[in-house]
Amino acid sequence: MIKKGFFSNFIFIFLIILMMFLVSCSQSADPTLDVAHGTQGIELTLHDVKNTASFIKGEKLNFMLEVKNLGTNDVPGGFIVVWGYDPNAIFFKDSSGSSTILDLPLLEGVKPYMPEGDSQFIEIQEEKTLNVPYGSSYNTNLLFSTCYDYQTTAVVPVCVITDMDEYISGSSTCELISQTLSSQGAPVAVTYVEPRMSEEEIQFLIEVKNVGDGDVILEGAATDKSICPVGIDMTNSNELEVSAHISGLGYGVCKNDGNIKLSNGKGVALCSFKKGTKKSSYTTELEIILLYGYSSSLDVPIEIIDPFYSGEDTYLE
């Protein structure tokens, strides 16, 4: 009986350990999971909002804002501007006139172990209850605008042919081909890469596009509170920086010091590399990095009703 009981307990413990092992394996991240896709960076979602956008004078909005990083780049900082309201109607804490600035939380980019993206909640605090300063109701569109720096990384397999005769005769081990790319997990994407070759250099024509729902801003300008979002204009928007790197050849020299100006959301760069000393053609990887600022907005219609309006305005309350 003792041996039978011992054996039963052993089997039971073994099964428990096996189940724990299987559960831990099923929850572990797949290191081969491709997360470099999608067209968004920071996304805002408003929670705990009433089913209708109507509020009564004397209530509070009680907004809870979810901030999510849907792209692959980590966001080390930035801010959110809440604006588009009358400060005599809505009284956000730490408001400056008709706008309130909230720090953007530190958010990791999408990873194999976090394929849905990093997110945090921000409570938007109010100093006092809602008011209707003029008439029987107040209507506005609250804007929640993100301002942050971001980065796109695209890795493209390319052919490097060092011998022009090999290229002309078609005897190279690889061939120069143009490639159309999909998204890279960022609001600005590399969409097309075309190789070109001369005796001394190999060049790459790189096309980029704003594939997100916001505005591309100069890197640095997006984290300047005097510029983003109300000061965005032609002098600080639709411009970004590009760099290109090939292992063994180093960084390429890109035209216009790597600055790309977008027109209708699209732009082009040309980056050149010296071919190096290898005597035969080979396949390697071209890494393209885009640096820029970005801003997008969430638009929330709000109505505040004064059910006891007597014909007297209360903007001085």
Is the distance from CB of 33 to CB of 183 less than 8 angstroms?
A: no
N- to C-terminal Cα distance for the chain?
85
Per-residue model confidence as pLDDT tens for the chain (317 residues)? 444 454 555 555 555 555 554 444 434 444 434 556 789 999 999 986 666 688 999 999 989 999 999 999 999 889 999 999 999 999 999 888 889 999 999 999 999 888 888 999 999 999 999 999 999 999 999 999 999 999 999 999 999 988 888 878 888 889 899 999 988 999 999 999 999 988 889 999 999 999 999 999 999 999 999 999 999 999 999 999 999 999 989 999 999 999 999 999 999 999 999 987 777 889 999 999 999 999 999 999 999 999 998 877 655 55
Taking the alpha carbons of 26, 28, 30, 34 in that order, is the dihedral positive or negative?
positive
- What domains does the chain contain, in order, with CATH numbers? 42-148+297-305 (2.60.40.10), 151-294 (2.60.40)
Where are the strands (E) in 15-105, listed by range?
A: 42-47, 54-56, 64-69, 79-83, 99-103
pLDDT in tens, 139-152: 999 999 999 999 99
Q: How many beta carbons lie within 10 A of that of residue 154, not counting itself?
A: 23
What's this model's pTM, rounded to 2 decimal places? 0.83
Q: How is residue 150 written in tokens?
A: 């971001």
Strand arrangement, sheet containing 64-69: 42-47, 64-69, 118-123
Cα(161)–Cα(175) distance, rounded to whole angstroms? 8
At residue 81, the 3 state secondary structure works out as strand
From the list 294, 291, 293, 295, the residue with the least C-alpha distance to 151 is 291
pLDDT in tens, 139-185: 999 999 999 999 999 999 999 988 888 878 888 889 899 999 988 99
Taking the alpha carbons of 90, 231, 211, 293 in that order, is the dihedral positive or negative?
negative
